[in-house]
A and B are shown apart, each in its own frame.
Chain A
Amino acid sequence: MGSASSMLTQYDIEEVQEHCNKLFSQQEIVSLYQRFCQLDRNAKGFISADEFLSVPEFAMNPLSQRLLKMVDGLNFKDFVAFLSTFSAKASLQQKIELIFKVYDSDCNGKVTFNDIIEVLKDLTGSFMSDKQREQVLSHVLQEAGYTRESSFLLEDFVKVLGSSSIKMDVEIPVD
């Protein structure tokens, strides 16, 4: 795996950097490539769901299945583009967009009451009943001026989350 960086040419690195809007430095991209090769055990060019789940810290994350749908089978360029949202240089808008995409599992551009309930189910498991979840959500929606029938667009998410400081940064270890 140490020979990984020799398989990535300067041209490749720049291409990947362009694709992720220069949110990662070239060194970080090389680091990510080493990691990509480490996870992609048989050098297929993408990481399978099974290989992601072989990282115990990822497998035990309550939202792992949702993220898996987004990263499963990505090639290196898209893998880096996905992770670029977690760069400290990424905009708040980009981060909120990712959060919206996680909620909007049917990709229709709208997040409904049920979509939020589904995510809440992943996050709370058997420690809250369905009724409790619906009650809690209805309560906070009402307080914020929405109803059960409201459906959220990206702009609404930006309005609700934009005022708070979203901290969603991951540091890429560089040797």
Chain B
Amino acid sequence: MANAPDNKLTSSSSELDLDRPNLEDYLPSGSMQEPRGKLRLRDLLDISPTLTEAAGAIVDDSFTRCFKSNPPEPWNWNVYLFPLWCLGVVIRYGILFPTRVLVLTLGWIIFLSSFIPVHFLLKGNDKLRKKLERCLVELICSFFVASWTGVVKYHGPRPSRRPKQVFVANHTSMIDFIVLEQMTAFAVIMQKHPGWVGLLQSTILESVGCIWFNRTEAKDREIVARKLRDHVQGADNNPLLIFPEGTCVNNHYTVMFKKGAFELGCTVCPIAIKYNKIFVDAFWNSKKQSFTMHLLQLMTSWAVVCDVWYLEPQTLKPGETPIEFAERVRDIISLRAGLKKVPWDGYLKYSRPSPKHREQKQQIFADSVLRRLEEK
């Protein structure tokens, strides 16, 4: 298929990476049995399989399912439960929320009053400064997690600081980063956001060594790939955390992993994150809510309960391509967190599928017609 070398950029920014495993392996192929026998007029005129596929996609498709947020089930449906629910609302908005805001404000005061002096006064003493900044970032993340009454259970050995390793995790919301960061000060690669989030990104996160990218910039990919490579080589840099899905998914499915993290020639340590939906739906649907609204929603819920599994580090097997490696790690993470895999690229949220998929279907049909023409 595409034999473009890894660093080659696609010419239009709307075209997606062509190096993907065969989509046909995943999609329902009810009509995929090869038709046999001599070609007749009715075989050419019968477009029902194609039409059925199109109608099937209109009715339900695995891509849209990945981004469906669960509407909260109202349980206040009778005389007994309704007052309980009202009481719950009062407690959540009247007691929990103000307490949490207080906790968070306190956390910020402590953080800023320590971070600013450390950052400026210890300019000369880099090693100590970095160590303190790391601790402080972990601290403010813990305050954030406390502000949602986050109950996080970590399983598995904690990440260690070693060169030539990257961490990959499935992505549900930007809070994934905070949940992981409170345990270990990762350097992370993320999309640059506007507003107050962007401000935090450029000041505080800068200190742990984060890498920015811009989804809409085509040339960006090469620059980012280079930055990734430079980061993992550096012995002093914080361990790098990458979310290879490239976008937030609703924690029931995983979309295709981008191969960038898997071709750096280092060990990949998978992390699986699963949120317990009973307490709150932690999926951040960036098309529906701003991050601020998302945080407020979390702060007025009962709790954010999740499990984090640090899984066994994986390396590229001999003869395995980076894409196969990415798929293998996706298998491991999906299995651990109980997520279903879909064959779609997360970036299809923002752009149209590559013409390659349609061409594949066209080629199959054309070959079948020409072959059957030969048959007697």
Contact = CB atoms under 8 A, between A and B. Distances in A.
Interface string A132-146: 100011011101101
Contacts, number: 161
A172 interface: yes
Given A55-B57, A57-B62, A119 B47 contact: yes
B40 interface: yes
A157 B365 CA distance: 21
A132 B344 contact: no
Contacts of B344: 56
B44 A59 contact: no
Interface residues of A, number: 59
Contacts of B58: 35, 39, 52, 55, 58, 71, 83
B50 interface: yes
B68 A1 contact: yes
Q: Of residues B48, B56, B362, B373, which shows the largest number of chain A Cβ atoms within 10 Å of its Cβ?
A: B48
B52 A86 contact: yes
Contacts of A141: 41
A160 B45 contact: yes
Interface string A28-57: 000010010011010000000000110111
Contact of B358 (A3, A86, A125, A143): A125
Contacts of B121: none
B375 interface: no
B157 interface: no
Contacts of B363: 125, 127
A163 B62 CA distance: 34
21 contacts: A3-B71, A56-B61, A56-B352, A56-B357, A57-B62, A57-B63, A58-B58, A61-B54, A61-B57, A62-B358, A67-B55, A86-B59, A123-B366, A124-B366, A127-B363, A127-B367, A136-B373, A140-B39, A140-B41, A143-B41, A168-B48
Interface of A: 1-3, 32, 35, 38-39, 41, 52-53, 55-64, 67, 71, 83, 86, 95, 98-99, 102-103, 116, 119-120, 123-128, 132, 136-137, 139-141, 143-144, 146, 157, 160-161, 163-164, 166-170, 172-173
